[in-house]
Amino acid sequence: MSTDSRIITASVLPPPRSVTGIGGWIRVNLVNTWFNIGLTTVFGFILVVALWYGLKWVFFDADWRVIGTLGGRIIIGQYNVEAACPGRDCFWRPQAGLLLVMVLLGMAWSVSGGGLTKRIAVLFAGALVACAFLPYGLDKMGLDVRLLFAANVPALALGWAIARHTRLGTVSWIAVLAFCTFILILVLLRGIPGVPYLKPVSVLYWGGLMLNLLLAVVGIGLSLPIGITLALGRSSRLKVVNLLCVTFIETFRGVPLITLLFMSQVLVPLAFPENFPQNSLVRAAIIITLFSSAYMAENIRGGLQSLHPGQGEAARALGLPVWQTTLFISLPQAIRNVIPAIVGQFISLFKDTSLVYIIGMLDVVEMSRAFIQGNPEYLASAKEVFVFLAAVFWVFTFTMSHVSRRVEQHLGVGKR
Amino acid sequence: MTVYEETVGVEDIIVYKDVHKWFGNFHVLRGITTTIKRGEVVVVFGPSGSGKSTFIRTINRLEEHQRGDITVDGIAMTNDTRNIDTIRRDVGMVFQSFNLFPHLNVMSNITLAPTKVRKIPAKQAEMLAMELLERVGIPEQADKFPAELSGGQQQRVAIARALAMQPKIMLFDEPTSALDPEMIKEVLDVMHELASSGMTMIVITHEMGFAREVADRMMMFDEGIIVEDGPPAQIFDAPQEERTKLFLSQIL
């Protein structure tokens, strides 16, 4: 210990040994009272038992081969079955869409300069490339499929290089390109009549994780702007606007999503002529988006109400007109204050996409359930399938909440 | 109603004629008639609830008056939003609770209104902002966020933000009442410098030392009217009204 501290000032001492280090932490938090010693023992026992049996099942008892049998159906559903795509050569289209997403992710990595974006990009690209080396015969997983999986790493690098060496490497360009890419992917999946290699594939056959993600992206992308509009409308002094927004919000919040989806299936066709083109995917996307917008509107309204009235006064005193005050002062603060609620709504929306089974669409959960039901020899493996699906959903939702926490830190929520 | 015949001189920047204001049934301003000249520094004081805050908030239409006429720099305060916008551009305001925008850094707080409202190019606005930050003595804080500054520093940023619109009039609504004692002086010093540069200022404050030193005129508000209006020498040394005497005896 240094001894240069002078007597006249209160000397700065290290905390007592008993509260520092691992031993100190255990003493202070786990075994500080008889009650806590009891709790620690009970929960420690439960934890050990759960881990023992859980891990034993995962590594020794479970038969994970069923996942391999499900294979590509988990990702694209029935997109590539003979009925959907005669010749079964449509598998490259979802994979090409995935490559486009990877290019965007590479650009985002370059623009953000590493950090979390880099880790997410590397993790997802790595998982996809690992798919290229799955130990199946070439008859089950062709060389072309494997090559397209492996191409995700070059795609990531390409995106990174584009952002680094061209003018496209800005956040606004990436946003524009992301929108274009999404439209392009939809066209690619749907196909164009008469164009070779792009035979139309009916949306009835779109399924698997691809369907969940498409619905989630549309829902997340549209429900935030629509929700903001509704929230501003609900705070409007114009009676008609206010009434319309309140009616919309309360209607869509007051009815279960399943009921809305079911109604869209049964009632909407009645409103159109018999031969009017009907598209169950579009209907589902609209219902999910509107349902989520109603909740989003209330989240944003909560954020708007949390603002100090002085903020609006200061903006008005500076001469900012109402729309600029809303755009530059109120909304940024309101949204920042309710990021946890907004992301909660995004996560809930993503999980709710599996409810589209109610209108006969084969999302990843329904796909797997139908597979097990149709192949009784796999009935015993249902456990493995659903544990695997839970893990898949968890990876996506955990990524979302992790990103949101990082965004909050970046914006200094709660600190400034 | 009384008819006012005086002509408004160019040196008169704010003209109030029999201005009334109600909050519901509560009669806050009960006939304010006064004229403030270009370059005058006016200190407004009085007990709480006397309408002094409402008075200065009617100057830039943060509060709407319901009777009487207000003219600011030759522009009549009507419901015409163009008039209101013009007046707000020319009137800066500093609040008791600073009201800085917490999601923007100091630089953006200052440049937001000049670039969006006055359409000044960003580069030029930033140069102006740096000049103002130097004037209020905290150029090194430009990249910080409001929550990272002390109260006195925040209030000085708020003054710089108001000055960035190059206003003709500055309103101060109890600018030092939310500050710790050791920070009051740094804000008053900035206001003192601003007053000596010739800015028209209306200041609600109970910092009587500042008032005696800087004010050209003092207005004592009580129960919605101006009870007494005169130079600091008169207010402090020979107050004409009993209420002024009583109030000053309570706070001095």
| Contact between B113 and A320 using a beta-carbon 8 Å cutoff | yes
pLDDT digits (tens, 9 = 90+) for A285-302: 999 999 999 999 999 999
pLDDT of residue A384: 92
Q: Summarize the confidence of residues A13-31 as an average pLDDT.
A: 79
| Contact between B62 and A317 using a beta-carbon 8 Å cutoff | yes
**Among A16-30, B56-70, B149-163, the least confident range:** A16-30
Per DSSP, A32 falls in state S
pLDDT digits (tens, 9 = 90+) for A86-97: 888 888 999 999
- Best interface-test mutation with A: which of B90, B110, B116, B172 has the largest number of A CBs within 10 A? B116
How far is residue A104's CA from residue A300's CA, in Å, rounded to a whole number?
29
Q: Summarize the confidence of residues A358-383 as an average pLDDT.
A: 90
pLDDT of residue A241: 95
pLDDT at B60 over 70: yes
pLDDT at A312 over 50: yes
- Chain B positions touching A328 (Cβ under 8 A) are 112, 116
Minimum Cα–Cα distance from A310: chain B residue: B99
Q: Summarize the confidence of residues A163-172 as an average pLDDT.
A: 88
pLDDT of residue A112: 86
Q: How far apart are the first and last CA of chain B?
A: 39
Residue A25 is inside which H or E element, if any?
helix A21-29
pLDDT at A157 over 50: yes
The answer to whether A333 faces chain B, any CB pair under 8 Å, is: yes
pLDDT bin (cut points 50, 70, 90) of residue B1 is very low
pLDDT at B8 over 60: no
pLDDT at B2 over 50: no
Q: Which of B100, B101, B113 sits opposite A319 (nearest CB)?
A: B113
pLDDT of residue A325: 94
| Contact between B89 and A319 using a beta-carbon 8 Å cutoff | yes
| Contact between A320 and B100 using a beta-carbon 8 Å cutoff | no
pLDDT at B138 over 50: yes
Cβ atoms of A209 and A74 closer than 8 Å: yes
Q: Which SS3 state, helix, strand or coil, does residue A90 take? A: coil
How many Cβ atoms sit within 10 Å of the Cβ of residue A114? 10
Cβ atoms of B35 and B12 closer than 8 Å: yes
| Contact between A416 and B100 using a beta-carbon 8 Å cutoff | no
Q: Where are the domains of chain A?
A: 85-201, 239-416
- Chain A positions touching B158 (Cβ under 8 A) are 314
Angle (deg, nearest 10), helices A280-305 and A208-234: 40
| Contact between A329 and B62 using a beta-carbon 8 Å cutoff | no
Among the listed residues B101, B29, B72, B252, the one whose alpha carbon sits nearest the alpha carbon of residue B171: B72
**CB-count burial class (<10 Å; 0-12, 13-18, 19+) for B23:** exposed
Q: Which of B103, B148, B165 sits opposite A319 (nearest CB)?
A: B165
pLDDT bin (cut points 50, 70, 90) of residue B6 is very low
The answer to whether A309 faces chain B, any CB pair under 8 Å, is: no
Cβ atoms of B33 and B67 closer than 8 Å: no
pLDDT at A344 over 90: yes
Cβ atoms of B52 and B96 closer than 8 Å: no
| Residue-averaged pLDDT of chain B | 92
pLDDT bin (cut points 50, 70, 90) of residue A80 is confident
Q: Summarize the confidence of residues A228-244 as an average pLDDT.
A: 94
Task: Provide the percentage of residues in chain A whose pLDDT is more than 90.
Answer: 57
Architecture of domain A239-416: Orthogonal Bundle (1.10)
Pairing of strands B217-222, B67-72: unpaired
**CB-count burial class (<10 Å; 0-12, 13-18, 19+) for B93:** buried
How far is residue A29's CA from residue A31's CA, in Å, rounded to a whole number?
6
SS (H, E, C) chain B: CCCCCCCCCCCEEEEEEEEEEEECCEEEEEEEEEEEECCCEEEEECCCCCCHHHHHHHHCCCCCCCEEEEEECCEECCCCHHHHHHHHHHEEEECCCCCCCCCCCHHHHHHHHHHHCCCCCHHHHHHHHHHHHHHCCCHHHCCCCHHHCCHHHHHHHHHHHHHCCCCCEEEEECCCCCCCHHHHHHHHHHHHHHHHCCCEEEEECCCHHHHHHHCCEEEEEECCEEEEEECHHHHHHCCCCHHHHHHHHHHC
Q: What is the pTM assigned to this prediction? A: 0.85
- Chain B positions touching A332 (Cβ under 8 A) are 103
**Alpha carbon separation from B108 to A107, A331, A397, B60, B124 (Å, rounded):** 28, 16, 35, 23, 13
How far is residue A352's CA from residue A287's CA, in Å, rounded to a whole number?
11
pLDDT at A330 over 90: yes
Q: Which of A316, A321, A412 sits opposite B62 (nearest CB)?
A: A316
The answer to whether A415 faces chain B, any CB pair under 8 Å, is: yes
**Among A4-13, A173-182, A350-359, A399-408, the least confident range:** A4-13
What residues 395-414 of chain A have any CB closer than 8 A to a CB of chain B?
411-412
Q: Which of A310, A318, A416 sits opposite B147 (nearest CB)?
A: A416
More confident residue, A402 or B8: A402
Q: Which of B95, B117, B148 sits opposite A314 (nearest CB)?
A: B95
- Best interface-test mutation with A: which of B101, B119, B202 has the largest number of A CBs within 10 A? B101
Locate B64 and state its tokens: 């709407």
| Residue-averaged pLDDT of chain A | 89
Angle (deg, nearest 10), helices A152-165 and A92-112: 40
Minimum Cα–Cα distance from A308: chain B residue: B99
pLDDT bin (cut points 50, 70, 90) of residue A414 is low
Q: Give the number of A-B residue pairs with CB atoms closer than 8 Å.
A: 68
| Contact between B103 and A319 using a beta-carbon 8 Å cutoff | no
Q: Summarize the confidence of residues A174-178 as an average pLDDT.
A: 93
More confident residue, A63 or B35: B35
Q: Which of A314, A329, A412 sits opposite B145 (nearest CB)?
A: A412
Minimum Cα–Cα distance from A323: chain B residue: B116
The answer to whether A327 faces chain B, any CB pair under 8 Å, is: no
Q: Which of B101, B112, B116 sits opposite A311 (nearest CB)?
A: B101
